[in-house]
Amino acid sequence: MGDDAWRDGPAAIDRFGASCDLDIASVMNEHSFMSVTAARRTPALAERADKADKRDAILRAAIETFAARGFFNAQVADVARGAGVAAGTVYLYFRGKDDLLISIFERTMKEAIAAGRESVAARTSPLDRLREIAKLHLERLGRDRDLAVVFQVELRQSTKFMERYSATYLREYLGIIRDVIAEGQAKGAFRKQINPTLAAKVLFGALDEMATNWILSRRKYSLPAEADAVVDLFVGGLGK
């Protein structure tokens, strides 16, 4: 404010105040508060990310521990040691050893179902879809021997887990295979007199046995490389 403002009195002061308000408004907008909001959100996001990372680390340690020691011989303390956390920390994320095994199964099956649906959507030929499902199935276990041991051996030691295994996610996973087979029958690619549900179980059983044989075998070989041979045998049978 100059001398003219003082001479003009309150009216000049009002004009000066309005000008300041406009200047501030032109600078201060919703973006001015973004850094403040981000600063407030960052600790919460970091905390959630840290919890997710810690949960994943505990699950990974559980897979390795159960594969090495066996589910029934392993203790929560063994899992905690493998994850580099205190035993009490495990109970912040899981109710106990049973919950760890269930969580390993559920996470893996969710991933398998999502990958299966994605692979089916990306292909049109029923035979190509079966090949991709078989390949993904064997790749998932073939790249992680510890997970394969937990799935093929440890998970099946308990009737309780087998009931859960059969009643929930496995049914959905088999449904993906069944739908591909049923579609192939409708298109004339597969024999129509075959029950598609039974056929889906047969293919799953073949892949399941291949995975079990792989972890028990002393011979080193690629498990996913067996996928095409399994599907060819499944589709063509032993006939000439």
The full set of domain ranges for the chain reads 40-94, 96-240
26-39: b or e for each residue (b if 16 or more CB lie within 10 Å)?
eeeeeeeeeeeeee
pLDDT of residue 168: 82
pLDDT score for 166: 64
pLDDT the model gives residue 49 = 64
CATH superfamily entry for domain 96-240: Tetracycline Repressor, domain 2 (1.10.357.10)
Q: Which residues contact 78 (CB under 8 A, 6 or more apart)?
A: 65, 69
Question: What's the whole-model pTM score?
Answer: 0.77
Q: Which residue stretches of the chain have pLDDT < 50?
A: 1-7, 9-41
Q: Which residues contact 98 (CB under 8 A, 6 or more apart)?
A: none
Q: What is the pLDDT of residue 18?
A: 45
pLDDT of residue 111: 95
CATH H-level superfamily of 40-94: Homeodomain-like (1.10.10.60)
Burial label for 117, CB within 10 Å (0-12, 13-18, 19+), is: middle
Identify the pLDDT of residue 162: 72
